[in-house]
Structure 1
Amino acid sequence: MKFAVLVFPGSNCDIDMLKAVEDTIQQPVDYVWHTATDLSEYDAILVPGGFSYGDYLRCGAIAQLAPVMNEVRKAAEQGKFVLGVCNGFQILTEAGLLPGALIRNNSLKFRCHPVELKVENANTAFTNAYEEGEVVTIPIAHGEGNFYCDDETLAKLKANNQIVFRYNGDNPNGSVAGIAGICNERGNVVGMMPHPERAVSELLGSTGGARMFASVLNAFASQAKAGAANGAGAR
């Protein structure tokens, strides 16, 4: 399985993300610049945190116009796996790959500390190694992590089981319904504000994020197995 870690001007969690892939699942992974126009060789695309393009206009508003995002949209449509973390989540919402928007924390302050997350959906490509209802500790680091959507969108997220993570206990940013992460209807695109790549070792204070990388490896293996079975059936 081959991973791409996208790099925009202002990204600052790209190294963390690449090292998380190398250290947790030992798979090939490359940095891919925002001007790239071909992601066909990659099975998973990781959109890291940071301050892409200085967060001018809105967080992710300029990054979603980068050439590479056209390829991310194609990859998502093809069923490839896409994870956006923090600024990456903001970029995915701005790009229309996920619903809702991320706005200023209700405290109007930057929040940077560990939080408890409850796994609401353990059937996505990035959460299948967790148990539904499990609580894990993963850090946040954001000033615009307040997930917002209208009532109609929230009802749809609930009905389609698209809420992946909620904050357990304290809601650090005022997100609607305590939402910390969501997915698309297909479950191959996930966005979240907390940083799983910063929670893959006890040396970092938690291993709560490590199984997200194991999960996508599981999903890829299942996808490959299903494809092989379909191919055999066609013969």
Structure 2
Amino acid sequence: MTVAIVRFGGSNCDRDAARALDSLDIDNEIVWHEDGLPADTTGVMLPGGFSYGDYLRAGAMAARAPIMQAVKEQAEAGVPVLGICNGAQIGCEASLTPGAFTTNESARFQCEHVHVRVENADTRWTRAYEEGQVLELPIAHAEGRFEIGADALADLQAEDRILFRYSTPDGEITAEANPNGSTDNVAGILGERENVAVLMPHPERAALSDIGGTDGRGILAGFASATVPQ
């Protein structure tokens, strides 16, 4: 497969993502957004960074770039799409997933390691883990607080579409373990289909043992899964 890593003006995690995918022997190509998706695209990653300088709202301008229509069409066709950090913000702004990412409760940029608990291990993005397993992943964001209405949150919960919640190292879901004030400690979710996911922590920065550990490798390996949702 070939994962298209979409680069916008201001993206800065695209090369990190490419190196992490290379380490998993997953073919990938960094694609400038104006050039569109390659014909052989079989996966799409929206990487982290500060697309368009986060003007208006983080991810809002990139979500309206012409390439995002092609990304939506790929998602509807069952192609795996993963948005990370700014890519998660873009995914929400483009309605690939519900909710929105807003300014951290601390009102400051936060760059640190956090712990997340696997809430659903029966998806292409999480099947490398066990339900309840705790991962250590880095975050680097100023607008990482996930917000969603009560009814939409209830739908996510009922449909088992919450992938990760911020937790303590022991897996407890507490306010103290929530780095940004996200609703229900949510760190990552699925779209309406299992092939689409967004998350605020950076698995690509936890994919190599010599820089940041390997807890994120299983998430990226979801691109290589043979299972395509119907």
TM-score after normalising by structure 2: 0.93
* Residue 85 of structure 1: aligned partner: 84
Task: State how far apart, in whole Å, the 1-side matches of 2:69 and 2:76 are.
Answer: 11
* Residue 182 of structure 2: aligned partner: 175
* Residue 160 of structure 1: aligned partner: 159
Does the 8 Å CA contact 1:118/1:168 hold for their aligned counterparts? yes
Richer in helix (by share): 1
Q: Which runs of 4+ in 1 moved over 3 A?
A: 37-40
Listed as ranges, the matches of 1:107-122 within 5 Å are: 107-122=106-121
Task: State how far apart, in whole Å, the 2-side matches of 1:171 and 1:13 are.
Answer: 23
Please state whether the residue corresponding to 1:89 is helix, strand or coil: helix
Unaligned runs of 5+ in 2: 169-176
2:28 equivalent to 1:29? yes
* Residue 199 of structure 1: aligned partner: 206
Task: State how far apart, in whole Å, the 1-side matches of 2:69 and 2:81 are.
Answer: 13
Q: How many pairs does the alignment contain?
A: 222
Does the 8 Å CA contact 1:88/1:191 hold for their aligned counterparts? yes
Does the 8 Å CA contact 2:124/2:227 hold for their aligned counterparts? no
| Aligned CA distance change for structure 1 residues 5 and 75 (closer, same or farther; 3 Å) | same
- Say what the alpha-carbon RMSD is for the aligned residues: 1.4
2:6 equivalent to 1:10? no
CA offsets per residue over residues 152-185 of structure 1, 9 Å max, x none? 1110010111100000131000000000000013
Please state whether the residue corresponding to 1:222 is helix, strand or coil: coil
Q: Which range is displaced more, 206-215 or 110-119?
A: 206-215
What letter matches 1:80 in structure 2? V
Identical-residue share of aligned pairs (%)? 47
Task: State how far apart, in whole Å, the 2-side matches of 1:184 and 1:63 are.
Answer: 18
* Residue 19 of structure 1: aligned partner: 19
Task: Indicate which of 214, 224, 227 corresponds to 1:222.
Answer: 227
User: Which of these two proteins has the greater Rg computed from alpha carbons?
Assistant: 1
Unaligned runs of 5+ in 1: 228-235
Shift of 1:14: 0.4
| Aligned CA distance change for structure 1 residues 156 and 53 (closer, same or farther; 3 Å) | same
Please state whether the residue corresponding to 1:204 is helix, strand or coil: coil
Shift of 1:112: 0.6
* Residue 171 of structure 2: aligned partner: none
2:193 equivalent to 1:186? yes
Please state whether the residue corresponding to 2:20 is helix, strand or coil: helix
What letter matches 2:14 in structure 1? D
